[in-house]
Every structure is written in structure tokens, then in C-alpha cells.
Amino acid sequence: MTSGMFGAQGTGDTSGYGGLVRQASNFGSSERPYGSYFDEVADDLERAYPDFSDAIERVVVDRGELTLHVKREKLVEVAMILRDKLKFEMCMGVSGVHYPDQTGREMHAVYPLLSMSKNQRIRLEVSVPDADAHIPSVVEVWAGNNWHERETYDMFGIIFDGHPGLTRILMPDDWEGHPQRKDYSLGGIAVEYKGATTPPPSERRSYK
């Protein structure tokens, strides 16, 4: 029996995908106490930001990580409080995630934050509809996010309002679509290499 990566068996596919489907968990807010320094971070943010309950949709602690789910219209305010009051001086970038089944919240942006002063890490997460995939840019808060926001725009189509130059960074300017979305077609694009054409992934190997 053919065995692939990640436990895929019997499909003839050794790539590790094998048509596997993983059910995503949808967490509600975690209950106190959160543990570690997470309670301190939440308490400090509540004290420093009077609109905490209105801005933070939920607080999730999972797999040893604290994630604050922030309303998009409050993102910049929360980011500035975290930087200036709670000393999260560094944002490690932004990653896009596409959940087609989460109606009205299909596009997610995740921001890992680091406090070098206190050696603490948390995450911010913003969810928006695919039909209105606009999120405020945080480049004015953490300038290093400039190229990260461009990459997330390029790969997922999330538009970061207020970004100083939101253009593609990996794909050509005239490229159609956003390659890391779940609804992006795999393969089928003619690529020439020394006169040969690369076929779609599904046609590159025979398992018969």
C-alpha cells in the first residue's frame, strides 16, 4: 500500500495531500484565567483602552498562543495602544488566510506581535467578508509591515487601506487572481521551459 506524508494512504499520492479534508475548529472566547502572561496582557489592554469590549470581538487561547480578534475599524487604535502602552514594539508581519465556508468572514489577516521589552508574544486577527476585503494598513504603526501587506494583498486579495504603495510584490502586475486563495485554480497555466510546457499538477504524474 502506498503511504504518503501526513498519514495519507491508499491513494497512490505520495505528495502528502491525497484529497485530505481537515475540519477547521471555530473557537469562541476562552474563559479566564488564560494562564501564562496572557491575563496580564488582557488586563493591561483593558486599562489602557477604554473601548476594549467594543473593539475586541473575542479572546482565544489555543495551543499556547493568545489571539485577540479585533474589529477592522478598531485595528489601528488597538495596534497603537499595544505598541505604545503595552510595549509590543515589533509586528512580525501579516499573514492572510482564506476560509471560504465562513460566510461573511472569509478573509482573515493575522498579525504576530513581539514585545522585546517583556519577551512576550501575542497575535491580532481581523476577519472581513470576501466581498468587502478591506482592512486598515498598520504601516503607520509598524513600518516594517509595508512589504508584508503587499504580499498578503498579492496572494489573497486583501486590500490594506492607507498603505503607501499597495502593489503586487511577487506576481506580475497584470496577473489575474490571488494564488493562495482556496478558490484559486491549481495549474493549467502554460509555462514554457526550453520548448516544453509544464502541465497542471494533476497531470504531472500517473499513479496507474
**1 pLDDT band (50/70/90 cuts)?**
very low
Domain that holds residue 117: 26-176
The better pLDDT of the pair 20, 137 is held by 137
CB 117 within 8 A of CB 141: no
- Distance, CA of 9 to CA of 199 (rounded, Å): 25
> Residue 163: which CATH number?
3.30.460.80
Q: Has residue 208 been placed in a domain?
A: no
pTM of the model: 0.80
Q: Has residue 3 been placed in a domain?
A: no
Q: Has residue 99 been placed in a domain?
A: yes
Q: Has residue 183 been placed in a domain?
A: no
Q: Has residue 73 been placed in a domain?
A: yes
Q: Of all residues in the chain, what percent carry a pLDDT higher than 90? A: 73
Read off the DSSP letter of residue 29.
P
Total domains present in the chain: 1
For 68-92, what is the mean pLDDT? 98
Q: Has residue 206 been placed in a domain?
A: no
- Distance, CA of 68 to CA of 27 (rounded, Å): 12
Which pLDDT score is estimated for 104? 96
